[in-house]
Amino acid sequence: MSNEKLLEKVILRMMQQLDAKPIIPIAHQLWDLDDVAKYFKYSADYTKRHIITNPYFPPSRDLPTTGDHTVPRWRAKDVISFGMAFDKANINYR
C-alpha cells in the first residue's frame, strides 16, 4: 500500500470518528460520575465518597431513565468552577 493510500485511509477513519461524536460546547455538557472522576484524576469510588459529597460541590441534575429510576449528571461548567475555586493563586499565606 502506498503512503498516499495509507494517509487517505487514516484521514477517512478520523473523519468518521469526528462525525460519530458531535462536539458539544463545555457549557452544555452533562457529566456522569466517571467524567467527574476523570476530570479530577481520581477513582470513581474516591470521587463518589469524597468529592461529590462535599457540601460546596454543585448539585446533580437527576435525569429520568426507565421506570422511577434516575441518574445523576453534573453540569461540566459547574464542576470546573468548583475545582478552580481551590486555585492557590487566590490564597494568602501570612
Per residue, the 3-state secondary structure of 3-37, as one string, reads HHHHHHHHHHHHHHHHHHCCCCCHHHCEECHHHHH
Q: Quick check: pTM over 0.75?
A: no
Query: Which pLDDT score is estimated for 93?
Result: 53
Amino acid at 45: D
Query: Which pLDDT score is estimated for 88?
Result: 72
Q: Please report, for residues 7, 87, 89, the alpha-carbon distance to residue 92 in angstroms, rounded to integers and kept in the order given.
A: 53, 11, 8
Query: Which pLDDT score is estimated for 1?
Result: 73
Instruction: Average pLDDT across each block of 10 residues of the chain; the chain has 94 residues. List them in order.
Output: 87 83 88 97 98 96 92 97 82 57
Query: Which pLDDT score is estimated for 43?
Result: 98
Query: Which pLDDT score is estimated for 58?
Result: 97
